[in-house]
Amino acid sequence: MQKTKFKTKLIIPLLLIIVSGFLIGANVAGDDDLYEKINRNMDLFGQVYKEIALNYVDEIDADKFITAGIDGMLATLDPYTIYIDENNRDQIDLITTGKYGGVGITVSIKDSMIFVTEVMNGYEAQKKGMRVGDRIINIGGTDLIDVKVDKLRMQIRGPIGTDITVKVLRDGEEIEFNLTRQEIILKNVSYFGYLEPVDKGIGYIKLDRFTNISESEVENAIKLLKSEGELKGLVLDLRNNGGGLLDAAIGILNKLVPKNSLLVITKGKRSDSERKFFSKEDPLLPADVPLAVLINGNTASASEIVAGAVQDLDRGIIVGTTSFGKGLVQQIKDLDKRAQMKITASRYFTPSGRWIQEKNYFKENKYGVFIDNDKYNQTDFKTIGGRTVKSYGGITPDVEVVTIPESEIHTALMNKDMFFKFSDNYIASNPGLSVAVPSDEMFEQFKAFLVENNFAYESRIEKKLKEIEEIASEKKYDMNINELLDKVELEAEAGEQKEIDMAKDEILKSIAMEINARVITESEQIKETFSFDTQLQEAVSILENKPEYNRLLGK
């Protein structure tokens, strides 16, 4: 019998390190029985692993097998406790520093093909001539067939200074680029400046992530705004900001709220683990300068710590839609030289004491691994000024501004990459284009492009009609019903033609954004969205209306 070839010698040390973490908690908790349970269960786990690895009918990859076991075990906990092997360590670098080794491109899958959707200024890909719209067909001599974006990311990223070849298809021609990986540094503040009209004095800062340099970037943005004019109000945009480092959130709050304010509370398993974080400096933004924070369903973690503190301290208004709801804090633990674990070590609570967790992993857990499922039942809390705020389910905005849901026709156009394809055509037909401005002419060109490219989609009503036709056929209904259904289908098709016109504004916005992604900088792209950003416009309107601003804060 051929024995399985082991590809790792670090399994036992890895497991022992995990065990040691449990033992520390057990000792403090005083659970005498836990030592015995850990020893027994680890022995059982080891026996199962060894038996399968040595005697299973098919040869298995020992590394992937242990990873699957670890992933399965961690899946019984909250969704943020994960095992990170050596192939994914760049995720941690990105979270903590905003840096990684790469060539400076962003990619996405369109029609099962991989296209370059962004080329970052100043990095290797741009210097060597890669363009937005290039279709990647080969990396390092390997053709890309049915590859996933995550796997592609692992192929492109790697140690700084290493080389990689990337072959693309452009206008029917294959082009090969020899690239050297560089340190890619992502900006945390992607835009800041005064909104038009500038004399209103409303500043705007868009913060995309919380890394170890976020605080300094926000500080620099506020200082520059103050040096360029009289800062009469500030919008901090945290929409689509998935969070990052707790320390970064605390540092940024220090710039916004009064000195000695309670910012956030964290609590772990042990009774002595509670920590309270206070602001330790005079804020850069004076207390009499109104503040608005923009949030949405993708605002999470550290972003929610900032928004929650601003709300609980009545320091500013929260505008947008309810945030994601992540009330847990993770730590990175090194397991060995090649592996790490991101483990949920504590919960965080806003200054009023509320826990804003949305996903109830206690009740959703089907394995019953949690012993105490009835904690944190309080729902109503008070801000420093006495306003009622709610726990659970994220941060609820003080002013809700719901964006218009994506129309069915817009979704179909997006799924078939019609905006992407039209942009190629439009830029080719308009050489030297400096910026895309939505217009009636652009819309008519787009509709003609759809006809030329035989765009068609099956609406929900057409799908339902097909289901009815199938049922009618099975039931052998009278042929008259088919005639009736044909008439309804014609009406539906006529309605679909009107749908495009009804979604004109939405479609033009997406066309302009797609084209501008190729012809102007990221900062300029953000600025171009201001005119149709209803949440931003509402925030500005309130900041300019002091009585309304004070009313919302209960003053």
Catalytic residues: 301, 312, 326
> Between 504-519 and 480-502, two packed helices, what is the crossing angle to 10 degrees?
50
3-state secondary structure of 290: coil
The DSSP secondary structure of 25-90, one letter per residue, reads: HHHHHT-HHHHHHHHHHHHHHHHHHHHHHHHSSS---HHHHHHHHHHHHHTTS-TT-EEE-GGGTH
Written as six digits, the tokens of 288 are: 């009499």
8 A C-beta contact, residue 139 and residue 107: no
8 A C-beta contact, residue 321 and residue 396: no
Residues in the chain: 555
Closest CA to 252 of 293, 202, 203, 200: 293
CA distance 17 to 42: 12
Name the percent of the chain in helix, strand, coil, to the closest 5.
Answer: 45, 20, 35
Backbone angles phi, psi at 488, to 5 degrees: -65, -40
CA distance 254 to 240: 22
CA distance 307 to 389: 12
8 A C-beta contact, residue 245 and residue 302: yes
Buried b (16+ CB within 10 A) or exposed e, 471-508: ebeeeeeeeeeeeeeeeeeeeeeeebeeebeebeebbb
- What's the gap between Cα 433 and its chain centre? 31
Whether the ω angle into residue 13 lies within 30 degrees of 0, i.e. cis, is: no
Residue type, 21: G
